[in-house]
A and B are shown apart, each in its own frame.
Chain A
Amino acid sequence: MATKVSSSPAFSSPALSPRPNPPGPSGRAVPKAKALAILNATKSPAPSVASTPGDGGMDLSEKMNDEVRRQFVIGGRLGEGTYATVYAGHYRHDPTSLVAIKKIKVNADFKDGIAMDAIREIKFLSELHHPNIISLHAVFSTKDQNLSLVLEHLPAGDLEGLWKNGSISYTSADIKAWSNMLAQAVWFCHENFVLHRDIKGNNVLIAADGTLKLADFGLARSFAEPGRPMTHQVITRFYRPLELLYGARHYGGCVDIWSMGIVIAELVIREFFLPSETDIQQVHMITEIFGTPTEETWPGVSMLPNYLPIGPSGFKHPLGTSYFMQRFPLLGADGVELLRGMLTVDPAKRFTANEVLRHSYWTNAPTPTKKEMLPKAGGGLKAMGEDLKRRGGEADTGRVDKVARKLDFASMVQ
Chain B
Amino acid sequence: MSKPAHRAGGAPKAAVDSDICPVCKSSRYLNPNMKFLVNPECYHKMCESCVDRIFSHGPAPCPIAGCKRTLRKMRFREQTFEDLKVEREVDIRRRVAKVFNKREEDFETLKDYNDYLETVEEVTWNLILKIDVEATERRLRQFEEAQKAELNPNVARRETQSDSSAPSDASRVVLKKGATQRKALSASSGNTPNPYSSQDGTEDTGFTFRGLKKRTAPEPQKPFDPYSGWSVEPQFYILQDDYNVEWLTQSKNDIQHLAGGYNIKDFYSQALCEAFSGFGVFIEDEIVARDRQVSGDETLATQMAATAGTGAKDVRMDDVF
Could you tell me the distance between the alpha carbons of A184 and B254 in the complex, rounded to whole angstroms?
31
Determine the chain A residues whose CB is within 8 A of the CB of B306 once the complex forms: 14
Q: What residues of A have a CB within 8 angstroms of the CB of B251 in the complex? A: 226-227, 250
Q: Which of A28, A35, A184, A254 is within 8 Å of B226, CB to CB?
A: A184
Q: List B contacts of A350 (CB < 8 A).
A: 261
- With A38-B321, A127-B320, A223-B266 known as contacts, the answer to whether A248 contacts B258 (CB < 8 A) is no
Contact of B294 among A45, A127, A303 (CB under 8 A): A45
On chain B, the residues within 8 Å of A3 by CB distance are 293-294, 296, 298
Set A30, A192, A226, A346: member contacting B316, Cβ < 8 A:
A192
Q: Chain A CB within 10 Å — which of B227, B269, B281 has the most?
A: B227
Q: Is the Cβ of A45 less than 8 Å from the Cβ of B266?
A: no
Residues on A with beta carbons closer than 8 Å to the beta carbon of B232: 188, 191-192
The interface residues of chain A lying within 8 Å CB-to-CB of B224 are 362-363, 367-368
Type the 1/0 row for A98-132, where 1 means its CB is closer than 8 Å to any CB of B: 00000000000000000000000011001101110
Distance to closest chain B CB from A365 (angstroms):
10
Contacts of A35 in B (CB 8 A): 320-321
Nearest CB of chain B from residue A235's CB, rounded to whole Å? 13
Interface string of B226-243 (1 = CB under 8 A from A): 111010100000000000
**What is the chain B residue whose CB lies nearest that of A35?**
B321
CA distance A126 to B320 in the complex (A): 8
Chain A residues positioned under 8 Å from B266 (CB to CB): 190, 193, 223, 252-253
Q: Which residues of B contact A391 (CB under 8 A)?
A: none
A contact residues, total (Cβ < 8 Å): 67
What is the distance, in angstroms, from B78's C-beta to the closest C-beta of chain A?
A: 43
Residue among B226, B261, B306, B317 with most chain A CB within 10 A: B261
A130: chain B residues at CB < 8 Å are 230, 315
Among the listed A15, A126, A180, which residue makes an inter-chain contact with B305, where contact means beta carbons less than 8 Å apart?
A15
Count of chain B residues near A, Cβ 8 A: 53
Interfacial chain B residues near A131, Cβ < 8 Å: 228
Is the beta-carbon distance between A184 and B230 smaller than 8 angstroms? Answer: yes
Residues of A contacting B301 in the complex (Cβ-Cβ under 8 angstroms): 14-15
B270 interface residue (CB < 8 Å to A)? yes
In the assembled complex, the CB of A33 is this many whole angstroms from the nearest CB of chain B, namely 13
Of B45-53, B87-95, B283-291, the one touching chain A: B283-291
A226→B256 contact, CB < 8 A: no
Q: In this assembly, does A358 line the interface, its C-beta being within 8 Å of a C-beta of chain B?
A: yes
**Cross-chain contact of B260 among A15, A30, A250 (Cβ < 8 A):** A250
Which residue of B261, B269, B317 is within 8 Å of A348 (Cβ)? Answer: B261
Tell me whether A299 and B259 are in contact in the complex, defined as CB-CB below 8 angstroms, given that A191-B232, A226-B267 are known contacts.
yes
| CB within 8 Å for A30 and B321 given contacts A15-B301, A192-B315, A367-B224 | yes
Q: Which residues does chain B contribute within 8 Å of A255, judged by CB atoms?
A: 261
Instruction: Sample 16 A-B pairs with CB under 8 A, ordered by A number.
Output: A14-B302, A15-B293, A15-B301, A45-B293, A184-B226, A184-B227, A184-B228, A188-B230, A192-B315, A226-B248, A251-B260, A300-B256, A303-B256, A357-B227, A363-B224, A368-B224
Given A26-B319, A227-B250, 6 other A-B contacts at CB below 8 A? A15-B290, A17-B286, A38-B321, A180-B226, A193-B269, A223-B270
Which residues of B are at the interface with A, using a C-beta cutoff of 8 A?
221, 223-224, 226-228, 230, 232, 248, 250-252, 254-264, 266-267, 269-270, 273-274, 277-278, 281, 283, 286-287, 289-290, 293-294, 296, 298, 301-302, 304-306, 315-321
